Structure 1
Amino acid sequence: MSKLPATITPEQLQQFDTDGYLIMRGLFSAQDIEALQQEFTMLHRNGPVERLFAPVSKEQAGGDILKEYPRFMHPHRVNELSRNYMIDPRVMDVLEDLFGEEPLAAQSMFYYKPPGARGQALHQDNFYLLIEPGTCIAAWTAVDPSDEENGGLFVVPKTSREAIQCPHEADPTVSFTTHEVVVPEGLQPVPVILEAGDVLFFNGNVIHGSYPNTSADRFRRSFICHYTGVSTTKISGYYNPLYTRDGQPLEIEKNPSGGPCGTEFAANSPH
């Protein structure tokens, strides 16, 4: 018999199991969000970090705003505040209920998504993380209010039990990543409307993505982390080391396969 959740309600756990996602409203305070905003404004101002963050000047960007404001990959590896937010007890407690076991942190990312930025085509996270057994869970923290106009996230409910798809080529005019998957017949993407400080948790097989930021002057900043459970035995090598809730690094076996679609797809991972 599974234990009752300690942080979320049984109804919330049931919703996550059914729809594949759960929104925790106001999980982070206004002060928490302001600290994230200030930190990543400073990090952008300080410029590139080898292999993790490569912003360029407006002149060098050649009209592509995402070259001026690219996503910051794995900031927890070089930034203490990011690492603290990645393993924040409020997030880890929810994850423990969702996994049914102790969670481990595998990845952090920060998206600036300024006005005019392209979106990210529909995809599934465990296509990239290659977690075995089971799948990952994302915690997607809104750093700005996030809606359809400024390129907020869309999810496809009830796709958490869908198999991992082999993607096709995405439209580069609307997506900055190259992979796209097909929405199963009878289902459709729905927008996730979030306020700053809300956190969206979703299963690693859930199909999700975003569209361009069509607002005139609104960024859609977000801090996104991926997690797995302590029973995981394999993960794509790019995500080692994982971190326990007390910040201790932990190496697990590198998954040597390219997943269900072969090594060519895995090598082109946008994550």
Structure 2
Amino acid sequence: MIAPASRFTFAANANAAEQEFDEQGFFVEPDVFDVAEVDALVAASRDFDNAKNGSLLPTMNPHRMVPIFCQAAQKPRLVQIIARLVGGRPMGLQTEFFFGRPGTKGFTPHQDNFYVQAPLGAFASAWLALDDVDLANGCLNIYPGSHKFGLLEVSAVEQTSTFGQDPDANRLACAIPNQISPVCVPARRGSVIFLHGQIIHESNDNTTADRSRRALLMTYIREGVDFNKGRSAGRQTFQVT
């Protein structure tokens, strides 16, 4: 059984949370966004093409389409935390909106920096829960300490379903060190899970009949470092401070 993760509040004890991030590769900061801000992001997502056409597939880089998503990535409290985690002035890099409709398959185990190829410690992600997220509707599983093993080998995997997911999302899975076990990381809506660029994480299937698992992923990189733009991701930096 996957154990639940402990929770750490950056605002209450920034040094302790930063130490936890360095040691474990992630931490959860509750209530970064309030109810009104979350509701506004969800409302704006209804105008995405993938909402209107009913596919509810993830939408890449919504910050380029609708100002409210850029504003979310620029939220001062969020950026202040990210600046400590990437060790310098952060730049926004990429965003992605996930609808997570009931029945959506989870992501395979992966490391975000496998794709971004940023220098160690210069890249981090902020995963904003736009619904209350638990095991049933598809919360993240994270492998504490796995960021210390460097970038790991990946292998192709068979996709049993692409329902609700980008068809390219689950073609690869990274190797998992034998001594590392995952923890289940539930989150209240408005909370942000901060992820080290090389932490192994995955998500559970949404097995509910009526609960979405909407989330906004925002990634950041230290100003001036190199990164892989990607063929489909089209990563490019943008100002957040």
Looking at structure 2, the residues matched to 44 and 220 of structure 1 have their Cα atoms a distance apart, in angstroms, of 18
Looking at structure 2, the residues matched to 158 and 28 of structure 1 have their Cα atoms a distance apart, in angstroms, of 27
**Match runs of 1:133-148 below 5 Å:** 134-148=121-135
Report how far residue 227 of structure 1 moved: 0.7
Looking at structure 2, the residues matched to 138 and 216 of structure 1 have their Cα atoms a distance apart, in angstroms, of 29
Pairing 1:92–2:84 present: no
TM-score by length of 1: 0.77
Q: Which string of whole-angstrom CA distances, capped at 9 and with x for unpartnered residues, describes residues 192-250 of structure 1?
A: 11000000001010000112110111000000011111242x1112444301224xxxx
Q: Which moved more, 1:119-128 or 1:80-89?
A: 80-89
Change (3 A) 1:203 1:173: same
Letter in 1 for 2:211: R
Letter in 2 for 1:224: L
- Bigger CA radius of gyration: 1
Change (3 A) 1:145 1:44: farther
Looking at structure 1, the residues matched to 73 and 43 of structure 2 have their Cα atoms a distance apart, in angstroms, of 17
**Match runs of 1:2-81 below 5 Å:** 9-44=14-49, 47=52, 56-57=53-54, 68-81=55-68
Report how far residue 171 of structure 1 moved: 3.6
- Percent sequence identity over matched residues? 26
TM-score by length of 2: 0.86
Letter in 2 for 1:97: R
Looking at structure 2, the residues matched to 19 and 8 of structure 1 have their Cα atoms a distance apart, in angstroms, of 16
Looking at structure 1, the residues matched to 204 and 56 of structure 2 have their Cα atoms a distance apart, in angstroms, of 16
Looking at structure 2, the residues matched to 106 and 174 of structure 1 have their Cα atoms a distance apart, in angstroms, of 29
Higher relative contact order (CA 8 A, sep 6+): 2
Letter in 2 for 1:14: Q
Letter in 2 for 1:11: A
Question: For structure 1, which runs of at least 5 residues remain unmatched after alignment?
Answer: 48-55, 58-67, 247-271
Question: For structure 2, which runs of at least 5 residues remain unmatched after alignment?
Answer: 1-9
Q: Which string of whole-angstrom CA distances, capped at 9 and with x for unpartnered residues, describes residues 63-120 of structure 1?
A: xxxxx11000011112111111112112101111222211111000000011111111
RMSD across aligned C-alpha pairs, in angstroms? 2.0
